Each structure stands twice: as C-alpha cells, then as structure tokens.
Amino acid sequence: MPKRILPNLVEDEEFFKMFRDEAMINMRLEHPNIVRIHEFDESMGVHFIEMEYVAGDDMRRIEKTAAKLGVGIPIGSIVRIVADAAAGLDYAHKAKDARGRPLNLVHRDVSPQNILVGFDGSVKLIDFGVAKAAGRAQHTATGILKGKFPYMSPEQATGKPVDARSDVFSLGIILWEFLTARRLFKGANDAETQRLVRDCQVPRPSSVEPSVPPGLDSVVLRALAKEENLNIAQEF
C-alpha cells in the first residue's frame, strides 16, 4: 500500500531528510505488531513509501461501528488488541542499530487511528518513526505539537522531551477509554484538553464502568502514572 509525501513537504529539506531517515529505520523493524515498510522510493517526481497492506480497520472506526450497532466491544478483545499493540511498542522502543546502539524510537502519535485490527485478528501499529520525523519538522517550523491532544502524555502536551514512557501513557489512555466507553482527557477545545492531560486525574476504570474487572485497574493506572511507566508495555 503506497503512501505519498505531499509536494510541499518534499520541498522542506529538513523534513524530507528526517522522513527518509525515519522510513529507513522503520524498514528495519520486523515485528508482527508493526506494519512493515517495504520500500522508500521515488516515481515520476513523487516520493512514496510502500507499506504492508492490512485488510481490516483502525480502532476508532471499529468503535464507531460498534456504537452504531448498539453493541459493546468485548473486554477480552480490547485487552488483546492493546496487549498486541504494547508488544509492538516494546519491540520498537528496544530496537538497536547495526552497531548495537539504541535507536531511541518514539512514536509520538499512539492513538486509536494508528492501531489497525485485521479481519484475521492481527493487530498492527502504523506510522512508527514517521510520526517522530513529522513531529520534529512541524514543531520546528510552526511550534505546533505533533500528535492528538487527547492522547498525549503530560510531557508531550507541554512540549517537553519525550521517550518511550510517553507512548506507554498514550496506550494507557486508549485502554482506559475502550474499557469505559468514555473519553478521558477530551475537552471542549485543545486548551482545555491540554489542561486535562496536565492535571492527569484518572479514576479507576472499574469505578466508571462496573463491568471492568478490578484487576485491570492497577495496569491502567500504572500506565497513566506521570512517572515510572517505562516498562509497563511488557505487562499487557
């Protein structure tokens, strides 16, 4: 499945270099829970990346479809999807280059739209690494943060440097929301959403939705703690 780079971004030399470098790094990532990038090339003046095709839909569309049908997504399915996404994150966060040096990859845009679920039950993270390159260029050029405010960590929402823990926090938001069928940090506007993220007031999922097993509370709350969530991806 090809993904083209917009012409105006190709003209941005800094962005193009970062996009190319991140695409090349992403091509090294071989994990069943990360969409594979097969090729980065140019054809007739158009630069593109050739990605693995996933026959399925993203978590947000699945959620909307379930709501229209008036059915809930089974808790077991939610946990399985998030666990598989966490496995992909854990692998990428620990990835090293050919010399054994950490790549320090950070997705920066872990959200329901970037988690694909195949009709065969497979779970794939998309835009890993590419989001990081786009974030750098966009922040440098316009001062706008890359990512979706309702799924940012407090550090990311305030423009501070982020590491793997920020991605884990974002995944924790997704788990909380899908378990409770409610939004966690979604405000009336971006400013209010940022404030909610910074305040980081997170009720236990089971206190919001009684059908959630209390045993899941500690996992969710640890992922959404302001500190010490670096290794939580291993526990999903």
| Cα(86)–Cα(20) distance, integer angstroms | 25
Count the alpha carbons within 13 Å of 208 in the hemisphere toward its beta carbon.
16
Question: Alpha carbon of 41 to those of 2, 21, 37, 47: distances in Å?
Answer: 10, 12, 11, 6
C-beta of residue 57 within 8 angstroms of C-beta of residue 124: no
124: phi then psi, degrees, rounded to nearest 5: -135, 130
Contacts of 147 (CB under 8 A, 6+ apart): 108, 109, 111, 131, 135, 156
Contact 139, 145 (CB under 8 A): yes
109, 120, 127, 167: which one is catalytic? 109
**Number of other residues whose CB lies within 10 A of the CB of residue 209:** 15
Q: Is 109 a catalytic residue?
A: yes
Q: Look up residue 41 and give its two tokens.
A: 């090339």
Name the residues annotated as catalytic: 109
